């Protein structure tokens, strides 16, 4: 119950602030250009609280899933008097600046917030920025079927030369059941391969997986109570380097091996504070994240080995810009592939999924995980609002560009029909995404989204 409450509070706080930032961009720009603002609202529907100052009513509404700035004469159905304070009385370039100001505020805020985070606490997984040298290949996986082997180095994937594991992961995730052109280096040989990542039956996000893995240290994360690992004395932060004397290049190596040895006791070698420790552990058959699936387990979650430090302001800003550029491209690729039916709607998270992520980030140590998530949500809000869908800012911009090309305003009747269709589309999309969130929480619903 406490976790649900934390998730709700974190979600409402983050989303509310992101909407505030977005709408303030529209509001401040409109005011600056002399457009009269009638309402500045967070949320939709019935008014909960608010006040009026000057010509503007400031209010918080009942449904906290968005917000709006209502400007005089903005809606096609509004009566127009020719008042210079009306939105449509202003030149198109004014209206363009007002429309783009909201998304721009979100994008700039994402860059600024991530810059602050990096100057205080720069933390990232060690393996992500390493060259894509393959540690292990899962049997019968797409990578194994085309002959990729442990020790191969991916020197090209699609249009990226000498990729890092982070770049490989992005391409792999966004290409479920789609061919990827890959070049691997094996000794002095350069081999061309076509890999088709598959969606895992155990995954509810429908991302692609090729079945190759990086050299990634096995670090003990959350320990499950009354499970073999805890009983044996293993602690959070221990680095497991071997099982039965054999090195562990990746957590999947341990998981696969345990399914072979079943409940036979295993010896784990771990590093803790510079000391080498050995533990005798007997696996048990236990539930996984999917309550319908049981596996032999010892009871801990693995977490990536992290680099922690601080970046000078200039480097932090540069890194923030690079990361936000990469993430923006990832969002646009995801939308493009969704339209092309190359990825599933399950790759998107709605309000419930975001709330879960916010709750988890809020419970992690320190403020940086929550601030990092806030930056990501702000970027998503900015980019998605630029999509050319009427009602969204990108749709307003598109109509302005069309009007500029044809040299006249589109008729109010046509605009009304366009907005009505767009509104129905957005409502249906929201319903599907929320259903998607529920399906991820309830595994028995997941097959309906296959």
Q: Domain end: 174, 193, 214, which one?
A: 214
Together in a domain, 186 and 224: no
User: φ, ψ for residue 82 (rounded to 5)?
Assistant: 85, 5
Q: List pLDDT tens digits, range 268-303.
A: 999 999 899 999 999 999 888 766 788 999 999 888
Q: Domain end: 288, 306, 322, which one?
A: 288
Domain that holds residue 282: 218-288
Model pLDDT, residue 290: 67
pLDDT band at 71 (very low <50, low <70, confident <90, very high): very high
Together in a domain, 106 and 186: no
Model pLDDT, residue 118: 93
Together in a domain, 209 and 278: no
Model pLDDT, residue 240: 94
Q: Does residue 76 belong to any structural domain of this protein? A: yes
Q: Does residue 300 belong to any structural domain of this protein? A: no
Model pLDDT, residue 233: 94
Q: How much is the average pLDDT of 381-396? A: 89
Indicate the number of domains in the chain: 3
Together in a domain, 386 and 427: yes
Measure the CA–CA gap between 123 and 371, rounded to whole angstroms.
Answer: 13
Q: Does residue 363 belong to any structural domain of this protein? A: no
**Sheet (strand 160-161) strand order:** 160-161, 153-157, 180-186, 189-195
Q: Is-catalytic flag, 23?
A: yes
Burial class (CB in 10 A: 0-12, 13-18, 19+), 337: middle
Q: How much is the average pLDDT of 381-407? A: 90
Predicted model pTM: 0.78
Q: Does residue 23 belong to any structural domain of this protein? A: yes
Q: List pLDDT tens digits, range 294-347.
A: 899 999 988 888 888 899 999 999 999 999 998 898 888 888 888 887 777 777
pLDDT band at 445 (very low <50, low <70, confident <90, very high): very low
Q: How much is the average pLDDT of 92-101? A: 94
Model pLDDT, residue 444: 43
DSSP secondary structure string, 200-260? -TT-SS--EE-SEEE---EEEEEEPTTSHHHHHT--TT-EEEEETTEE-SSHHHHHHHHHH
Together in a domain, 230 and 194: no
Q: How much is the average pLDDT of 164-175? A: 90
pLDDT band at 204 (very low <50, low <70, confident <90, very high): low
Q: Does residue 13 belong to any structural domain of this protein? A: yes
Q: Domain end: 214, 231, 258, which one?
A: 214
Together in a domain, 31 and 101: yes
Q: Does residue 437 belong to any structural domain of this protein? A: yes
Residue of 23, 74, 86, 216 marked catalytic? 23
């Amino acid at each position: 119950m406490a976790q649900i409450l934390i998730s709700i509070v974190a979600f409402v706080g983050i989303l509310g602030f992101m909407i505030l930032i977005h709408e303030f961009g529209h509001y401040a720009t409109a005011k600056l250009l002399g457009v009269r603002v009638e309402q500045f609202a967070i949320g939709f529907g019935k008014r909960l609280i608010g006040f009026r100052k000057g010509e503007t009513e400031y209010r918080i509404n009942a449904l906290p899933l968005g917000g709006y700035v209502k400007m005089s004469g903005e809606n096609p159905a509004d009566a127009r008097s020719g008042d210079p304070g009306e939105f449509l009385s202003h030149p198109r370039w004014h209206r363009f600046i007002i429309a783009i100001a909201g998304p721009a505020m979100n994008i700039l805020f994402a860059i600024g917030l991530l810059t602050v985070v990096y100057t205080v606490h720069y933390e990232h997984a060690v393996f992500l920025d390493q060259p894509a040298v393959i540690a292990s290949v899962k049997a019968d996986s797409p990578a194994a079927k085309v002959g990729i082997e442990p020790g191969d180095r991916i020197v090209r994937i699609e249009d990226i030369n000498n990729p890092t594991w982070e770049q490989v992961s992005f391409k792999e995730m966004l290409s479920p059941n789609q061919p990827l052109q890959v070049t691997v280096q094996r000794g002095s040989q350069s081999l061309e391969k076509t890999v088709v990542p598959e969606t895992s039956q155990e995954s509810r996000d429908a991302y692609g997986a090729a079945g190759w893995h990086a050299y990634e240290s096995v670090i003990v994360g959350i320990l499950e109570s009354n499970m073999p690992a805890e009983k044996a004395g293993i602690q959070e932060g221990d680095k497991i380097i071997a099982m039965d004397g054999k090195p562990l290049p990746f957590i999947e190596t341990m998981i696969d091996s345990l399914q072979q040895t079943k409940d036979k006791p295993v010896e784990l070698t771990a590093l803790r504070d510079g000391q080498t420790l050995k533990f005798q552990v007997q696996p048990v058959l236990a539930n996984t994240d999917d309550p319908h699936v049981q596996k032999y387990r010892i009871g801990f979650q693995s977490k990536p080995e992290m680099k922690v430090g601080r970046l000078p302001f200039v480097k932090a800003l540069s890194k923030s810009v690079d990361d936000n550029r990469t993430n923006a491209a990832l969002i646009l690729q995801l939308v493009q592939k969704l339209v092309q039916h190359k990825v599933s709607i399950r790759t998107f998270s709605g309000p419930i999924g975001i709330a879960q992520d916010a709750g988890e980030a809020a419970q992690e140590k320190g403020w940086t995980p929550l601030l990092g998530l806030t930056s990501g949500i702000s970027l998503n809000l900015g980019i998605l609002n630029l999509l050319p869908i009427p009602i969204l800012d990108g749709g307003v911009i598109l109509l302005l560009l069309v009007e500029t090309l044809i040299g006249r305003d589109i008729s109010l009747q046509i605009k009304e029909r366009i907005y009505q269709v767009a509104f129905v589309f957005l409502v249906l999309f929201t319903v599907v995404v929320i259903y998607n969130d529920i399906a991820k929480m309830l595994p028995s619903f997941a097959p309906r989204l296959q």
